Structure 1
């Protein structure tokens, strides 16, 4: 969901392990090699014939969110290109974000790939296979207009909202001692942003792409500060799996081609209103 998104150590790690085991128990009993379902002409196996099942965590506008009965967004359009390359149709699976970044969704055979505005981190690389980076992101602070808050220091004695299991949460936790605010954790982006709007928190930190989009749609809020965290998003696949590697390789080919032929810029401009950074 930037999602940019990193799990804290300790209890979170233990929870991820339990969740992985629980999800795996719900999946197929076949635990070897590629998770066989249907193999297409490219030699890539997917869980369901004709489908590329892609896990995400809704809502994370404008990367993936519901518009009527359809799931749309930047990540959705990008994964449509990957599916098309494979001669498949993308099918979205909405699931808890921690289940994606822990690799549990792949162990449980819930999806072939995942796209959820997710920051590539060394910790996450231990559980999932990332594609090449496809989007640059950083953390940003959103507040209500007229609050007088312009940075983290202005939140001393106040409440700062974060989304659970994200790099925004990690950034807020790392800096709360120096700035004296209380961290309030929300389950998803929608409730985090609603917390700012309703005054439950005095500000919130999340990826710049999503907070700017929210401020555009909610003019009583404003983004007052960006923090140079140097994050990059990656698409996700099953780690230590030949089939997962083939999917990642295909995704990398698609990303490179889209950036070269202008398709990436077209998608970027569609969702962000400006040309993609060079």
Structure 2
């Protein structure tokens, strides 16, 4: 009987021991599983944080995109002397020299695309993919700023009224009921519509066509940027004259896509460097004979 009792107790002890060991194994496995899940979550969080840091760096390191690597691609209406004009098939002018100097300052080559209609320039930059920037005597206005970003101003300008010599139009007060010409999409046309609402407005793609229309009598007056009018009258249209300068207080800027803010910043930095080292003044003196 003692032997059986002992065996019975031993059997119960072994069953309890086995049960206890099994429970420990389950707990241990559960613990391992929990630690593994935590490790995985931590790893995922670390990767997400690293990804976020990388994205932040991409926007903060001054990087920008270009249509063509190593080149600053410019689109312009190349009929706006002395700012830009085609001579022997090559663009030249104040803005051409300035954009070339800005590109060099940025360590880039300059690349001018074929001329484009003026009123298509801002939409082209806003749409992206065609050119990096546009510089073509583009006045900075709220409407244009809604579509694109602009560099710091590169030149001050005003409008003026141009007529044929001997005209009875001597200023803005005489524009009522007249036929006024201008380049489509320009602030000159905007001014004419606002200040001579009962005049007939005719628009043309290029200033050469505008002034030819003035000479031929298709229009009686032209409203246009004064620096350009002065250049054209001096060099090709001596039978025309400026009868009134209109102090609109305009400023030209370089148009850049809103999706490329770091490019705008880089252009502003280069522009300031050119002003600091005297290059901007040299270009201005070359094309205007003055730095005023």
> Does the TM-score normalized on the shorter chain lie above 0.5?
yes
Separation of aligned partners in 2, 1:154 and 1:199: 17
Greater relative contact order (CA < 8 Å, ≥ 6 in sequence): 1
Partner of 1:225: 244
Rounded to whole Å, the distance in 1 between the matches of 2:81 and 2:243 is 19
Is the 1:176–1:183 Cα contact (8 Å) retained in structure 2?
no
What is aligned with 2:270?
A: 254
The corresponding residue for 1:196 is 214
- Segments of structure 2 that go 5 or more residues without pairing to the other structure are 1-61
Deviation of 1:260 after TM superposition, in Å, equals: 2.5
Deviation at 1:155, TM superposition (A): 3.0
Contact 1:161 1:184 in 2 (8 A): yes
Secondary structure of the structure 2 residue equivalent to 1:123? helix
SS in 2 for 1:45: coil
Q: Residues 61-96 of structure 1: CA distance to partner in whole angstroms, max 9, x if unpaired?
A: 111110112101111111111210222211112223
Q: Take 2:186 and 2:219, find their aligned partners in 1: how far apart are those partners?
A: 17
> 2:288 aligns to what?
272
TM-score by length of 2: 0.74
Whether the 8 Å contact between 1:82 and 1:250 is mirrored in structure 2 is no
Which structure has the larger Rg over C-alpha atoms? 2
Higher helix share: 2
Task: String of CA shifts for 1:201-223, please: whole Å, max 9, x gaps.
Answer: 11100111111111111211111
Gaps of 5+ in 1: 1-41
> Aligned residues, how many?
230
Q: 2:71 & 2:277 partners in 1: Cα distance?
A: 26
Q: Is the 8 A contact 2:117 2:205 kept in 1?
A: no
Asked if 1:95 corresponds to 2:116, the answer is: yes
Shift of 1:188: 2.0
Q: TM-score, normalised by structure 1?
A: 0.78
Equivalent residues in 2 for 1:1-278 (5 A)? 43-93=63-113, 94-102=115-123, 104-177=124-197, 180-217=198-235, 218-239=237-258, 241=259, 244-273=260-289, 275-277=290-292
2:57 matched to which residue of 1?
A: none
1:267 shift after superposition: 0.8
Aligned equivalents of 1:108, 1:248: Cα separation in 2 = 14
SS of equivalent residue, structure 2 residue 111: strand
